[in-house]
A = this chain, B = another copy of it.
Amino acid sequence: MQIVCFGEIMLRLSPPGAQRMVQARQFEAVYGGSEANVAVSLAQFGIKTAYLTRVPDNELGQAALAAVAQHGVATHLALKGGDRLGIYFLEQGAGRRASKVRYDRAGSGMATLTPGVIDWRAALEQATWLHWSGITPALSQGAADALLEGLTIAKELNIPISCDINYRANLWNYGKKPAEIMPALLAFTDVLLGDETAFEVCLGIKNEIDTAPEVVLSAVKTAFPKLSHISMTRREGFSASHNSYQGLIFDGQRLFTSKKYDLPDMLDRIGSGDAFMAGLIFGLQKADADLQEVIEFATAAAAYKHYISGDFNLCTESEVRALMEGNLGGRVNR
């Protein structure tokens, strides 16, 4: 059994403390990317996971894979190629100053990927699940085509497929709109994570601010009947350091809603959506998943992520369960 996560990994550079970019004389360096984050999180939960990506054949490509490998994810599927590793700069916010992300990922190994480069049958040989996100088709036509190629083969092999739409307005610069690309990809997909904006921009499913989630989710289900589960998250942003977070999952008929977590004194919210996605896959890949438990676990996993530096949700299943069960962090664990 092995979950294969496919996508781009980047070097993340952020000024130490809460410095602004112009103040930085050092940058903290970690590696992350939506699908790598999912893979690492699943590995912490004890799931066998492999990461499929394409990184340049240089020290940074090696370092990116090492970052994933150290947390127990298999990296033998990764390809070498492309001229550079994508980078993203993160200025961590504080209080009334919002965090800021600036991508510098053009020309990366994933952005210059084309069909035929990946041997998908080999890559999926031991796969029991395939996860992708809407980042990959946003990078380039070639990346979108390579993904389509993979999804086609995964379907042939009857491998369940999950997707986090992960809509980023400032990607999608290669001349195509999300709605021209995403529906064909989502047609292969079984489990979907998104939000109202993403559903509208990527799937063309309009909704009003006050539309009930059931209505939106039913419309998605109708449009993409292969989807077995559709999930959403709700975040309130009181400040850069204080949010709330809640998850929902819809099985085509019923909507399950998690506890809502108050998240004061946040440390690093980047990757919390990926932590949620990993929690979702962790729950759904079990036979007879109890959807209320699934959504509680995924939401608690995402909540926990806000208190771990870097993109990866370095916490165990038992730590997530302790939070689910009401251990809100106030006791020293001796």
Contact = CB atoms under 8 A, between A and B. Distances in A.
A96 B241 contact: no
Contacts of A28: 25-26
Nearest to A314: B20
Interface stretch (A85-93, A138-146, A179-187, A246-254): A85-93
A97 interface: yes
- Copies of this protein in the assembly total 6
Given A265-B94, A333-B100, A59 B21 contact: yes
Nearest to A13: B27
Interface in A71-109: 71-72, 83-84, 87, 89, 91, 93-102, 104, 106-107
A306 interface: yes
B332 A98 contact: yes
Given A67-B70, A106-B84, A264-B242, A237 B309 contact: no
B18 A307 contact: yes
Contacts of A243: 330
A264 B239 contact: yes
A328 B238 contact: yes
A170 B266 CA distance: 30
Contacts of A96: 261, 263, 303-304, 306-307, 323, 328-329
A83 B29 CA distance: 22
Nearest to A237: B330
A329 B264 contact: no
A29 B29 contact: no
Nearest to A309: B19
A242 B269 contact: no
A58 interface: yes
Nearest to A300: B96
A63 interface: yes
A33 interface: no
Contact of A27 (B22, B27, B237): B27
A237 B331 contact: yes
Given A101-B333, A102-B59, A23 B263 contact: no
B95 A307 contact: yes
Contacts of A21: 59-60, 62-63
Contact of A304 (B19, B97, B169, B239): B97
A99 B299 CA distance: 21
A323 B28 CA distance: 27
Contacts of A264: 95, 239, 241-242
A184 to B, nearest CB: 25
Contacts of A94: 265, 267, 307, 329
Contacts of A306: 95-96
Contacts of A303: 96
7 contacts: A21-B59, A59-B100, A84-B106, A93-B332, A94-B329, A95-B306, A97-B329
Given A20-B309, A70-B70, A96-B303, 13 more contacts: A22-B59, A66-B70, A69-B70, A69-B72, A87-B87, A94-B267, A95-B263, A95-B265, A100-B333, A101-B334, A237-B331, A240-B330, A241-B329
The 9 A-B pairs with the shortest beta carbon distances in the complex, nearest first, are A237-B330, A70-B70, A21-B59, A97-B307, A240-B329, A66-B70, A95-B265, A241-B265, A96-B329
